[in-house]
Amino acid sequence: MDFRLTFLGTGAGYPTPARTVTALAVERGRDLFLLDCGEGALRAMQAAGVGYGRLRAVFFSHFHADHCLGLPGLLQTLQLMGRQRRLDVYGPPGTRDFLHRAVNLAPFAPGFCTIAHELEPGSEVALGGLTVSCAWMDHTAPVLGYRLQEPDRPGPLDAARAAALGVPEGPAMGRRKAGEAVTTPDGRTVGPEELVGPPRRGRSAVFSSDTRPCADLTELARGAGLLVHDSTFTEAHRDRATETGHSTAAQAAVTAREAGVAALSLWHFSQRYRGPETHLAEARALFTPTEAAGDGMTRDVPSPAPELS
Ligand SMILES: [Zn+2]
Ligand SMILES: [Zn+2]
């Protein structure tokens, strides 16, 4: 099943022609989720061919303007399109109030149902086969980071080993795959562990929004396939990052390494930089599988890195 991200906005603070502000589309199967919804998110979805009629839920990290001002316009457009399906909006405390204001901002309030859900660490949301969990980040306002996790799947069947042990083809194989023991024609019991490899870990993607490096984010990202991390500054402006509640690209790389993720995407670049080349070089020196996200860029969520033994 597809599990794909499209970076809609990768800039910090305010939109420019090169980068609009924070928003990320997550498509898995037929579901679409948004992580933050900065100004320009709707237009970016149109440009990238992301079918926003399928939008199921929006997750907000916090309500600084560069993360949320796209919602009122998106709601109006969904209304014009005749949406009837409800829209769930998740975020930290304050989400209910923000959604109420967004819904009532313009004269034509959406006719479809919108439901606000205020989360805190420990909350888990089951949506479209994914489990969404969250943790507090370390910023100048309360910010939630999110992990979207697929369930683990049963390990692959070793057909050759099954044949060697005399397990017949057909329904008995199906039961064994479901984790049950089966009895061979000569009366031996064969347990599932003898024939199935270890479970295949589900894919997962973790999104820090605005944050300084913090232990809760490292834990949230533990073993994930992909970490999308605040990369507002380069090392030349590390003090500024600390002051304003953000990270440098190198700090993002250290978190990725410590969390044991398979890959790192940098985003939320300060508009003061012409391009992300320095961010990328500083991060790759510490964590090789790093990319600098750009507006419109798409990537599949990779499988998790093998567990360290
Ligand atoms: Zn921001
Ligand atoms: Zn912020």
Mean pLDDT in order along the chain per 10 residues (309 residues): 96 94 96 97 96 95 97 95 96 98 89 96 93 98 97 81 76 66 80 78 95 98 97 97 97 98 97 96 98 97 70
**DSSP secondary structure code for residue 196 in this structure:** B
Q: Report the separation in Å between the CA atom of 244 and the middle of ligand 2, taken as the mean of its atom positions.
A: 9
Report CA-CA distances (Å) from 41 to 68, 190, 210: 10, 54, 18
Q: Report the separation in Å between the CA atom of 133 and the middle of ligand 1, taken as the mean of its atom positions.
A: 21
Q: Report the separation in Å between the CA atom of 190 and the middle of ligand 1, taken as the mean of its atom positions.
A: 55
Helix axes 95-103, 71-80, angle to 10 degrees: 50
Q: Report the separation in Å between the CA atom of 60 and the middle of ligand 2, taken as the mean of its atom positions.
A: 11
Q: How far apart are the first and last CA of the chain?
A: 29
Residues surrounding ion ligand 2 at CB below 5 Å: 64, 210
Q: Determine phi and psi for 112, rounding to 5 degrees.
A: -85, 165
pLDDT the model gives residue 163: 80
Closest ligand to 138 CA? 2
Q: Are strands 31-37 and 55-59 parallel, antiparallel or unpaired?
A: parallel
Q: Report the separation in Å between the CA atom of 280 and the middle of ligand 2, taken as the mean of its atom positions.
A: 22
Burial 236-270 (b: 16+ CB within 10 A, else e): ebeeebeebbbbbbbbbbbbbebbbbbbbbbbbbb
Q: Report the separation in Å between the CA atom of 22 and the middle of ligand 2, taken as the mean of its atom positions.
A: 10
pLDDT the model gives residue 200: 85
Order of all β-strands in the sheet with 55-59: 114-118, 87-91, 55-59, 31-37, 23-28, 3-9, 298-300
The catalytic position among 31, 36, 66, 295 is 66
Q: How many CA within 13 A on the CB side of residue 150?
A: 25
CB 226 within 8 A of CB 262: yes
66 given a catalytic annotation: yes
Alpha-carbon distance 195 to 191, whole Å? 8
Closest ligand to 139 CA? 2
**DSSP secondary structure code for residue 282 in this structure:** H
Q: Report the separation in Å between the CA atom of 22 and the middle of ligand 1, taken as the mean of its atom positions.
A: 7
pLDDT the model gives residue 59: 98
Closest ligand to 137 CA? 2
pLDDT the model gives residue 309: 40
